[in-house]
C-alpha cells in the first residue's frame, strides 16, 4: 500500500485478518505504559519543578506566546499528578507561563498521568518529550537524569562533588564544570579512566572553572600512556610534572598545539600538553600521538 507514492509499513508483517503476533511483539517494541486522562485544568493549579525543568526561561518566548495566543496552536500540556494530588507540568512550561500572563485564560488542556511518589515519572516524561521530539540543553538533561536516579549520572555528580566541583549550565563559575556532554560521554566510554584522572584534574584546577580542552587532553593522555605502558599522570613523576604546571598553562599548551596543527580535537590538545609540559626538560620523552609531525 502507498500514499502519494510513499510505501506504508503500518501493516507490514501483520497477517491478514489480524491473526498472528502484534507489531509490538514482532518488533519487541516497548510497553507504552498506562494512558493518561484528559482534563481542562485551572492555570493556578499547575506547578513547575525546576529540579528537572530547563533552568533558563526564555522571557521573549513566553511574551510572544502570550501576545499571539491561539488555541489552534496550543498543544496539550503533559502533566504528572503526585500522590498528594498536586499537578506538575513536564512539557509545556512556557505555555503555562504565557497563559498566566493573560486574564482570559483560566484553564489549559492537559494530559494527566499518575506519578510514582517521587520525581522519576516526571523527569522521565520531561526527557522523553524533549529528547524524542526536539533538542534540549545538556544541563537540563543532566539534572533530569539526576532526578530519575540514573546510576551513571549520579556517580559522576558524586565524583565531582567529592572534589568540590559541580556541573553548571554555562559560564565560568568557580568550581564549576560546564562541559557536561563531554564528561558524560567520557564516563560512558571510559568510566575507570574518568574516576582515576578526575581527582588530579580537580587538584590542578584548584577551584578554577574546568574547560573542555585541558580536561579532555588529560583524559586522553592517561589512556595514551596506558596503551604504551608509559605510566600515569595520576601519580609519580608525570603527576608531579602536571602539578608543577598551572591550569591556565595546560590550557595554553592545548591552544598552542591547536594553532600549530590548525585543527582542534582531544588528540591535538593532548599532544600540546605532552610536548610543552610533560616532555619539557624531561630526559625520556613521551612519543607524540602525531609521529612525524614534530
Alpha carbons 217 and 276: distance in angstroms, whole number: 13
Instruction: With respect to residue 188, please indicate whether it lies within any of the assigned structural domains.
Output: yes
Instruction: With respect to residue 31, please indicate whether it lies within any of the assigned structural domains.
Output: no
Instruction: With respect to residue 170, please indicate whether it lies within any of the assigned structural domains.
Output: no
Instruction: With respect to residue 29, please indicate whether it lies within any of the assigned structural domains.
Output: no
Q: Grid coordinates representing 128?
A: 522523553
Place of cell 596503551: 227
pLDDT of 292: 43
Please indicate, yes or no, whether residues 136 and 221 belong to a single structural domain of this protein.
Answer: no
Q: What is the CATH number of the domain that holds 95?
A: 3.90.1530.10
pLDDT tens digits for the chain (294 residues)? 444 555 455 555 555 555 666 778 878 887 888 888 999 999 999 998 877 666 667 788 889 899 999 998 888 998 989 888 999 998 888 899 999 999 999 999 999 998 877 667 777 777 666 655 555 678 878 888 888 788 899 999 999 999 999 988 776 678 889 888 889 989 988 999 999 999 999 999 999 999 899 999 999 999 999 999 999 999 899 999 999 999 999 999 999 999 998 988 999 999 999 999 999 888 889 999 876 444
Sequence-ordered alpha helix ranges (H) in 28-150? 59-67, 93-100, 120-132, 138-148
Q: Grid coordinates representing 127?
A: 526527557
Please indicate, yes or no, whether residues 119 and 80 belong to a single structural domain of this protein.
Answer: yes
Q: What is the DSSP letter of 72?
A: G
| Nearest residue to 75 (alpha-carbon basis) of 56, 87, 92, 51 | 92
CB-CB neighbours of 259 under 10 Å: 11
Alpha carbons 81 and 114: distance in angstroms, whole number: 5
Instruction: With respect to residue 9, please indicate whether it lies within any of the assigned structural domains.
Output: no
Place of cell 522519576: 120
Which contiguous run of DSSP H or E holds residue 259? helix 247-261
pLDDT of 179: 87
Sequence-ordered alpha helix ranges (H) in 106-150? 120-132, 138-148
Q: Which domain holds residue 198?
A: 178-278
Please indicate, yes or no, whether residues 142 and 190 belong to a single structural domain of this protein.
Answer: no
Q: Grid coordinates representing 133?
A: 521530539
Instruction: With respect to residue 6, please indicate whether it lies within any of the assigned structural domains.
Output: no
pLDDT of 162: 95
Alpha carbons 168 and 172: distance in angstroms, whole number: 9
Please indicate, yes or no, whether residues 197 and 142 belong to a single structural domain of this protein.
Answer: no
Please indicate, yes or no, whether residues 143 and 183 belong to a single structural domain of this protein.
Answer: no
Instruction: With respect to residue 20, please indicate whether it lies within any of the assigned structural domains.
Output: no
Place of cell 591552544: 255
Which contiguous run of DSSP H or E holds residue 23? helix 23-27
Phi, psi (deg, nearest 5) at residue 230: -110, 15
pLDDT of 118: 66
Instruction: With respect to residue 32, please indicate whether it lies within any of the assigned structural domains.
Output: no
Amino acid at each position: 500500500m502507498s500514499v502519494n507514492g510513499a510505501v506504508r509499513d503500518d501493516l507490514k508483517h501483520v497477517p491478514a485478518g489480524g491473526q498472528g503476533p502484534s507489531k509490538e511483539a514482532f518488533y519487541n517494541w516497548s510497553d507504552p505504559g498506562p494512558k493518561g486522562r484528559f482534563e481542562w485544568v485551572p492555570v493556578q493549579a499547575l506547578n513547575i519543578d525546576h529540579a528537572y525543568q530547563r533552568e533558563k526561561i526564555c522571557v521573549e518566548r513566553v511574551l510572544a506566546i502570550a501576545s499571539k495566543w491561539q488555541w489552534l496552536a496550543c498543544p496539550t500540556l503533559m502533566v504528572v499528578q503526585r500522590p498528594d494530588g498536586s499537578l506538575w507540568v513536564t512539557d509545556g512550561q512556557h505555555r503555562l507561563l504565557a497563559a498566566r500572563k493573560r486574564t482570559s485564560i483560566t484553564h489549559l488542556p492537559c494530559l494527566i498521568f499518575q506519578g510514582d511518589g517521587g520525581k522519576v515519572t516526571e523527569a522521565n516524561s520531561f526527557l522523553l518529550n524533549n529528547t524524542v521530539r526536539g533538542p534540549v540543553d545538556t544541563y537540563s538533561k543532566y539534572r533530569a537524569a539526576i532526578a530519575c536516579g540514573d546510576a551513571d549520572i549520579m556517580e559522576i555528580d558524586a565524583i565531582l562533588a567529592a572534589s568540590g566541583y559541580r556541573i553548571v549550565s554555562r559560564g565560568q563559575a568557580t568550581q564549576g564544570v560546564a562541559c557536561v556532554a563531554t564528561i558524560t560521554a567520557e564516563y560512558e566510554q571510559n568510566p575507570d579512566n574518568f574516576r582515576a584522572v578526575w581527582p588530579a584534574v580537580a587538584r590542578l584546577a584548584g577551584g578554577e572553572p574546568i574547560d573542555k580542552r585541558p580536561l579532555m587532553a588529560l583524559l586522553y593522555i592517561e589512556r595514551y600512556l596506558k596503551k604504551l605502558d608509559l605510566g600515569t599522570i595520576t601519580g609519580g613523576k608525570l603527576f608531579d610534572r602536571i602539578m608543577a604546571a598551572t591550569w591556565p598553562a595546560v590550557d595554553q599548551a592545548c591552544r598552542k598545539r591547536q594553532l600549530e596543527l590548525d585543527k582542534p580535537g582531544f588528540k591535538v590538545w593532548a599532544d600540546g600538553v605532552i610536548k610543552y609540559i610533560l616532555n619539557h626538560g624531561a630526559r625520556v620523552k613521551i612519543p607524540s600521538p602525531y609521529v612525524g609531525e614534530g
